[in-house]
């Protein structure tokens, strides 16, 4: 090939290579272009690698805030509030800028700030100054410990009016109870779970727990799109799902009788120092619980005392009831046709199998008719009735009366109790209330068959609930059917009258002039590690009463365990609750609305507490004294900033009212104060107090008129 041919070939090959390369570049360009177009289409559709871009964008730019649902209320039989939703406040002070360029107002005049805050917080001025001058130079804001938390709206508003620079508040959801001690274990307790927007109030005891779902409601929320600075975008619209507030629980409790019962219980507890007590007043025709209390108890508002008794003794504690069970034994014997009142038996003791069972009076009363067994509370007589009935018949009636199973009352953690029937001895002892463990509610249910002419009633504490959407659920009268004949019930009630009226009866302490009263007393042994406890006070004493006995409206059941100050008979101790409470209940029935607040022969009238907060100390003292109250003042200030009982709360005539004034707190003279009064002092001051001994306060570790220290520790009172 000549040189010219070679040159032409080279040029041709070069041209071909360029064409191939050009085509290749074109193909690659088209492929890349197609990929970009496809990718653009996918992104335009809002997805990348199966990831929803639109959803991501909204998530990044959407701010959601919780709308807290308001917890519903618990009210009494007349619709008066017992528990309701509230807020408490905590105070803090900003003393240095929180960040560079912060224009937040700071505390500028610490001296004035401390002086003013001391008027409303349970802290002295010098203590507040210590908080406002922390040792660390890095501290930018300070709080004031427990004294600066849990503040009421009234106190918060008073401080806010001062417009103190650098003083701020945070709020927390809380629960407000109208009375400090008011069927505390029945109403229950709440706690706050979570923090900030996620904080919710949850019931942990009593009705607050049982109806927690209804009371809680449902939180709502607000969602809006915001920019990087948190401002809502002008092109967006906030989306709101409204909160659904909680419903309302209507109880059967009569506040007048409940508050009076609490007062009577506190007096007996202070005087005789029993380890435990319960008392329940029930409508004998409907099963509605009118008043219910126990000791130890606790403050609904502060929780003080809850560590002494976590359980609701009315439904959670099972115990041997003792001789009050004889109401059911006599009922079963009469109803089954195995009661011959004119049959005689030898009292004192009886042999059952290998065991000798005794009367409470071991020597007995000689040979007596069965008609006297119930009146004298003879254990041997009841064993004789059980033997005449036969164990299977007696066991049948025990189950009919509801022992060994829950009543279904609307309170959490109800104990079903136990029924021991394994041998002849336990079968016999159940006839006088041993070998069977019951609850207060089970006893009330069983005794209602006698008070309600043979038809047994379920005890109930709730009349109805109203959900947030308006749905009403009624808890009306519920019966468990006819347990005994009407004639049987009437015969048993006549026997209960003899317990009070007869010279041989055990219930003479419950006799009331002009009142038709029938009762059965009880004295139950307490099981220990090595058999039953011994000693005069190591018993559970009890009484069950039906008034008026001919056609009962009220069924009152009281138990008292191991009184430490055994200065009177157990019957006399419990009568100090029984007789005044029955007197008031009957008076409320008979009196007009105006006379309903004047209820006992002991001049124990009650009325709604007047408001004296923000009044001058002298004017408040004069007004309360003229109204018949016993006034105690904490502090030497000229203005009242807090009061206990609070305005609107029912208070008995002659009861003690505590006033907290502005200025430093000084100790009042507590001589003659009851334990409940000391608890009021602890509540209003925020200090820890301890009452040593039983009875009324007679000495105090800090003299009257002296400043109450701000430091920790417990202030001690001695009682005798």
Claim to verify: residue 659 and residue 560 sit in the same structural domain: no
Residue 360 pLDDT: 94
User: 697 or 449, which is more confident?
Assistant: 449
For residue 345, give the 3-state DSSP assignment. strand
Residue 47 pLDDT: 54
User: 16 or 183, which is more confident?
Assistant: 183
Low-confidence winner among 286-300, 382-396, 588-602, 668-682 (lowest mean pLDDT): 588-602
What is the value of pTM for the model shown?
Answer: 0.71
User: 368 or 618, which is more confident?
Assistant: 368
List the one residue out of 215, 231, 272, 207 whose CA is nearest residue 63: 231
> 77-93: per-residue pLDDT in tens?
988 889 988 878 889 99
CATH number of the domain enclosing 108:
3.90.1310.10
Claim to verify: residue 613 and residue 491 sit in the same structural domain: no
Residue 707, in any domain of the structure: yes
pLDDT exceeds 60 at position 55: no
Residue 693 pLDDT: 64
Identify whether the C-beta of residue 702 lies closer than 8 Å to the C-beta of residue 666: no
Find the mean pLDDT for residues 564-586. Answer: 95
pLDDT exceeds 70 at position 553: yes
Categorize the per-residue pLDDT at 534 as very low, low, confident or very high, splitting at 50, 70 and 90: confident
Residue 601 pLDDT: 37
Claim to verify: residue 585 and residue 611 sit in the same structural domain: no
Distance CA 382, CA 358 (A): 11
Residue 383 pLDDT: 97
Unique residue bearing structure tokens 């197609």: 34
User: 106 or 451, which is more confident?
Assistant: 451
Residue 455 pLDDT: 97
> Which alpha helices (DSSP H) does 211-316 contain, by range?
212-216, 255-272, 313-316
pLDDT exceeds 70 at position 508: yes
> Which alpha helices (DSSP H) does 591-670 contain, by range?
617-626
Residue 54, in any domain of the structure: no
Find the mean pLDDT for residues 574-585. Answer: 95
Distance CA 609, CA 628 (A): 11
Residue 60, in any domain of the structure: no
Categorize the per-residue pLDDT at 715 as very low, low, confident or very high, splitting at 50, 70 and 90: confident
**Of 575, 597, 619, the domain-final residue:** 597
Residue 50, in any domain of the structure: no
For residue 413, give the 3-state DSSP assignment. coil
User: 642 or 37, which is more confident?
Assistant: 642
pLDDT exceeds 90 at position 279: yes
Residue 131, in any domain of the structure: yes
Claim to verify: residue 575 and residue 630 sit in the same structural domain: no
> 137-191: per-residue pLDDT in tens?
888 899 998 888 878 777 888 899 999 999 999 877 788 888 889 999 999 999 8
Name the phi and psi angles at 471, rounded to 5: -65, 125
Two structure tokens written together for 358: 């005794």
Categorize the per-residue pLDDT at 222 as very low, low, confident or very high, splitting at 50, 70 and 90: confident
Residue 11 pLDDT: 61
CATH number of the domain enclosing 673:
3.30.10.20
Distance CA 214, CA 247 (A): 6
> 246-277: per-residue pLDDT in tens?
999 999 999 989 999 999 999 999 999 999 99
Claim to verify: residue 285 and residue 374 sit in the same structural domain: yes
List the one residue out of 316, 318, 321 whose CA is nearest residue 188: 316
Residue 24 pLDDT: 73
Percent pLDDT > 90 in the chain is 53
Categorize the per-residue pLDDT at 599 as very low, low, confident or very high, splitting at 50, 70 and 90: very low
Claim to verify: residue 242 and residue 261 sit in the same structural domain: no
Residue 6 pLDDT: 56
What is residue 308's DSSP assignment? Answer: G
Categorize the per-residue pLDDT at 229 as very low, low, confident or very high, splitting at 50, 70 and 90: very low
Residue 603 pLDDT: 42
Find the mean pLDDT for residues 368-376. Answer: 97
> 612-661: per-residue pLDDT in tens?
888 888 888 888 888 888 888 888 778 887 888 877 776 777 778 888 88
Two structure tokens written together for 381: 């007589």
pLDDT exceeds 50 at position 333: yes
Claim to verify: residue 268 and residue 372 sit in the same structural domain: yes
**Of 559, 577, 597, the domain-final residue:** 597
Claim to verify: residue 385 and residue 500 sit in the same structural domain: yes
Residue 1 pLDDT: 55
Identify whether the C-beta of residue 71 lies closer than 8 Å to the C-beta of residue 145: no
Residue 51, in any domain of the structure: no
Give me the sign of the Cα torsion angle 181, 186, 187, 190.
positive
The partner residues of 177 in beta bridges, in order of sequence, read 83
In Å, how far are 25, 78, 241, 253, 474 from 82, measured between CA atoms?
86, 11, 30, 10, 19
Find the mean pLDDT for residues 199-217. Answer: 92
**Of 597, 630, 659, the domain-final residue:** 597
Residue 671, in any domain of the structure: yes
Claim to verify: residue 317 and residue 385 sit in the same structural domain: yes
> 388-447: per-residue pLDDT in tens?
999 999 999 999 999 999 999 999 999 999 988 889 999 999 999 999 999 999 999 999
pLDDT exceeds 50 at position 602: no
Residue 59, in any domain of the structure: no
Could you list the active site residues?
A: 323
Find the mean pLDDT for residues 124-143. Answer: 91
What is residue 480's DSSP assignment? Answer: E
Distance CA 420, CA 440 (A): 18
Specify the number of domains making up the chain. 4
> 89-111: per-residue pLDDT in tens?
889 999 988 765 555 678 989 99
Residue 388 pLDDT: 96
Categorize the per-residue pLDDT at 511 as very low, low, confident or very high, splitting at 50, 70 and 90: very high
CATH number of the domain enclosing 448:
3.40.710.10
Please, what is the average pLDDT of the chain? 85
Claim to verify: residue 342 and residue 407 sit in the same structural domain: yes
pLDDT exceeds 70 at position 509: yes
Percent pLDDT > 70 in the chain is 83
**Domain extent for 123:** 65-250
pLDDT exceeds 50 at position 56: no
Residue 595 pLDDT: 34
Claim to verify: residue 591 and residue 612 sit in the same structural domain: no
Claim to verify: residue 179 and residue 202 sit in the same structural domain: yes
Distance CA 344, CA 369 (A): 4
Categorize the per-residue pLDDT at 59 as very low, low, confident or very high, splitting at 50, 70 and 90: very low
């Amino acid at each position: 090939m000549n040189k010219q041919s070679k040159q032409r070939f080279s040029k041709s090959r070069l041209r071909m290579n360029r064409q191939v390369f050009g085509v290749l570049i074109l193909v690659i360009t088209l492929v890349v272009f197609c990929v970009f177009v496809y990718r653009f289409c996918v992104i335009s559709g809002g997805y990348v690698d199966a990831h929803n871009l639109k959803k991501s964008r909204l998530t990044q730019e959407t701010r959601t805030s919780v709308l807290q649902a308001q917890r519903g209320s618990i009210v009494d039989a007349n619709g008066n509030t017992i528990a309701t939703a509230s807020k408490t406040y905590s105070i803090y002070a900003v003393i240095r800028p929180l960040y560079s360029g912060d224009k937040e107002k700071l505390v500028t005049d610490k001296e004035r700030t401390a002086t003013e805050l001391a008027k409303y917080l349970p802290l002295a001025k010098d203590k507040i100054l210590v908080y406002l001058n922390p040792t660390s130079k890095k501290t930018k804001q300070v709080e004031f410990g427990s004294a600066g938390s849990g503040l009421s709206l009234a106190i918060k508003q008073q401080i806010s009016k001062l417009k103190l620079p650098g003083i701020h508040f945070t709020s927390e959801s809380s629960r407000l109870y109208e009375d400090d001690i008011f069927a505390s274990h029945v109403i229950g307790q709440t706690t706050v779970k979570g923090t900030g927007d996620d904080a919710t109030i949850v019931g942990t005891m009593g009705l607050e727990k049982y109806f927690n779902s209804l009371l809680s409601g449902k939180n709502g929320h607000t969602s809006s799109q915001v920019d990087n600075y948190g401002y809502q975008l002008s092109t967006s619209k906030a989306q709101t799902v409204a909160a659904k507030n909680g419903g309302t629980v209507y109880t059967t409790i009569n506040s007048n009788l409940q508050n009076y019962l609490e007062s009577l219980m506190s007096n007996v507890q202070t005087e005789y120092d029993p380890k435990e007590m319960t008392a329940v007043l029930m409508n004998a025709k409907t099963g509605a619980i009118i008043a219910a209390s126990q000791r130890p108890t606790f403050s609904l508002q502060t929780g003080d005392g809850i560590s002494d008794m976590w359980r609701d003794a009315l439904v959670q504690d099972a115990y041997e009831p003792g001789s009050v069970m004889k109401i059911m034994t006599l009922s079963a014997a009469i109803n089954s046709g195995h009661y011959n009142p004119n049959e005689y038996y030898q009292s004192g003791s009886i042999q059952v199998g290998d065991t000798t069972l005794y009367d409470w009076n071991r020597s007995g009363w000689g040979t007596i008719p069965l008609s006297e067994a119930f009146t004298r509370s003879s254990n041997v007589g009841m064993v004789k009735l059980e033997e005449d009935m036969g164990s299977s018949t007696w066991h049948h009636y025990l189950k009919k009366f509801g022992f060994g199973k829950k009543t279904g009352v609307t309170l959490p953690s109800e104990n079903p109790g136990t029924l021991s029937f394994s041998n002849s001895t336990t079968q016999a002892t159940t006839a006088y209330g041993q070998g069977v463990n019951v609850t207060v509610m089970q006893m009330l249910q069983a005794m209602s068959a006698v008070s309600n002419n043979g038809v047994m009633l379920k005890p109930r504490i709730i009349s109805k609930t109203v959900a947030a959407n308006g749905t009403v659920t009624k808890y009306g009268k519920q019966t468990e059917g006819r347990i005994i004949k009407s004639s049987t019930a009437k015969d048993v009630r006549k026997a209960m009258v003899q317990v009070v009226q007869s010279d041989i009866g055990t219930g003479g302490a419950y006799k009331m002039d002009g009142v038709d009263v029938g009762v059965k007393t009880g004295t139950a042994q307490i099981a220990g590690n090595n058999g039953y406890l011994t000693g005069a006070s190591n018993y559970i004493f009890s009484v069950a009463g039906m008034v008026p006995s001919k056609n009962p409206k009220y069924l009152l059941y009281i138990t008292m365990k191991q009184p430490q100050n055994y200065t009177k008979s157990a019957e006399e101790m419990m009568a100090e609750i029984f007789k005044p409470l029955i007197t008031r209940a009957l008076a409320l029935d008979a009196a007009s609305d105006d006379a309903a607040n004047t209820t006992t022969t002991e001049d124990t009238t009650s009325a709604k507490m007047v408001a004296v907060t923000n009044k001058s100390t002298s004017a408040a003292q004069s007004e309360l004294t003229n109204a018949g109250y016993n006034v105690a003042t904490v502090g030497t200030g000229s203005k009242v900033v807090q009061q206990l009982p609070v305005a609107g709360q029912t208070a008995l005539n002659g009861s003690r009212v505590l006033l907290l004034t502005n200025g430093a707190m000084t100790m009042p003279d507590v001589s003659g104060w009851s334990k409940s009064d000391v608890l009021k002092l602890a509540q209003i001051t925020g200090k820890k107090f301890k009452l040593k001994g039983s009875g009324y306060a007679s000495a105090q570790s800090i003299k009257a008129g002296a400043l109450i220290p701000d430091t920790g520790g417990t202030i001690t009172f001695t009682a005798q």
